[in-house]
């Protein structure tokens, strides 16, 4: 471990912690201006007047403001902060790095039991990791976790694909939202040809080396010293 603390101050609003990945009222998503780019490998979806900041992992990402102003919208995840948190393994509550924050180089993952996602080996998820102290804060103060939560230590979380909106090639008609996912977004792996027709809204990873955690209070207190 380094001597710099990876846990950052958490933003509070009305007695509740505001997750770093939560969207705020001044961060609403504007209408997206889409186009089709013709490349050597075929046609693909793109944003009009695209710049390098618009495309990540080869996929166009939804354009939206990132100002954290107004009021927090706890129920909404901010697309750009989610991607940053997932790709750099930043804590979803405080936004600080989770890499190097534990002596065993694993990361802690936490989610509401009701959310529909589990923490099984090989499971895909859109919920970024969390620091141990931030997980304790979240389970104590975040209402969705008050109905139960799942936690696990995870060895690695390679990127799998994106969650987003799929557009029909040619017509650019938006495919209907998924009804079997809480956010209505389609999950598209990077290996699928559909990846060329999705506007990404979340980065999706898979979890490997999953060890369930049932007691956050005891976590790290019993961890062996790391030299
Ligand atoms: Zn944190």
Nearest to 30 by CA among 18, 45, 48, 43: 48
For 180-207, what is the mean pLDDT?
95
For 27-31, what is the mean pLDDT?
95
Whole-number Å distance, alpha carbon 17 to ligand 1 midpoint, is: 11
- The answer to which of 4-8, 23-27, 169-173, 189-193 has the lowest mean pLDDT is 4-8
107 and 157 Cβ atoms separated by less than 8 Å: yes
pLDDT tens digits, one per residue of 125-176? 999 999 999 999 999 998 889 889 999 999 999 999 999 999 999 899 999 9
What are the backbone dihedrals phi and psi of residue 43, each rounded to the nearest 5 degrees, phi first? -80, 150
Whole-number Å distance, alpha carbon 97 to ligand 1 midpoint, is: 8
User: Cα–Cα distance between 47 and 63 in angstroms, integer?
Assistant: 9
pLDDT tens digits, one per residue of 79-132? 999 999 999 999 999 999 999 888 888 999 999 987 666 789 999 999 999 999
* Residue 148 to residues 74, 83, 94, 141, 191, Cα–Cα distance (Å): 17, 26, 21, 12, 34
Whole-number Å distance, alpha carbon 152 to ligand 1 midpoint, is: 15
What are the backbone dihedrals phi and psi of residue 55, each rounded to the nearest 5 degrees, phi first? -120, 130
DSSP characters for 170-224? TT-PBPPPPSSSTT-PEEEETTSGGGGGEEEEEEEEE-BS-EEE--TTTTTTSPP
Nearest to 220 by CA among 82, 98, 119, 97: 98
Whole-number Å distance, alpha carbon 134 to ligand 1 midpoint, is: 5
Whole-number Å distance, alpha carbon 32 to ligand 1 midpoint, is: 32
| Burial class, 202, CB count within 10 angstroms (exposed 0-12 / middle 13-18 / buried 19+) | buried
The DSSP output letter for 132 is H
Whole-number Å distance, alpha carbon 192 to ligand 1 midpoint, is: 33
Is residue 1's pLDDT more than 60?
no
Is residue 226's pLDDT more than 60?
no
61 and 83 Cβ atoms separated by less than 8 Å: yes
Whole-number Å distance, alpha carbon 166 to ligand 1 midpoint, is: 32
Which position has the higher pLDDT, 193 or 226?
Answer: 193
Whole-number Å distance, alpha carbon 203 to ligand 1 midpoint, is: 19
* Residues near ion ligand 1 (Cβ under 5 Å): 7, 91, 93-94, 131, 134
119 and 152 Cβ atoms separated by less than 8 Å: yes
């Amino acid at each position: 471990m380094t001597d710099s603390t990876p846990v950052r101050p958490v933003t509070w609003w009305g007695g509740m912690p505001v997750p770093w990945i939560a969207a705020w009222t001044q961060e609403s998503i504007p209408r997206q201006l889409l186009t089709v780019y013709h490349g050597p490998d075929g046609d693909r979806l793109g944003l009009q007047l695209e710049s390098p900041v618009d495309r990540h992992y080869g996929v166009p990402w939804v354009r939206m403001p990132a100002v954290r102003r107004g009021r927090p919208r706890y129920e909404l995840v901010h697309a750009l902060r989610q991607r940053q948190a997932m790709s750099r393994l930043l804590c979803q509550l405080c936004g600080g790095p989770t890499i190097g924050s534990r002596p065993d180089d694993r990361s802690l993952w936490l989610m509401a039991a009701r959310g529909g996602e589990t923490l099984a080996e090989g499971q895909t998820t859109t919920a970024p990791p969390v620091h141990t102290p931030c997980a304790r804060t979240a389970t104590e103060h975040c209402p969705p976790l008050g109905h139960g939560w799942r936690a696990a230590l995870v060895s690695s979380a390679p990127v799998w694909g994106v969650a987003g909106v799929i557009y029909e090639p040619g017509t650019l008609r938006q495919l209907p939202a998924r009804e079997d996912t809480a956010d209505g977004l389609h999950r598209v792996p990077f290996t699928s040809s559909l990846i060329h027709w999705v506007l990404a809204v979340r980065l999706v990873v898979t979890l490997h080396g999953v060890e369930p955690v049932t007691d956050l209070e005891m976590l790290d207190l019993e961890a062996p010293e790391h030299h």
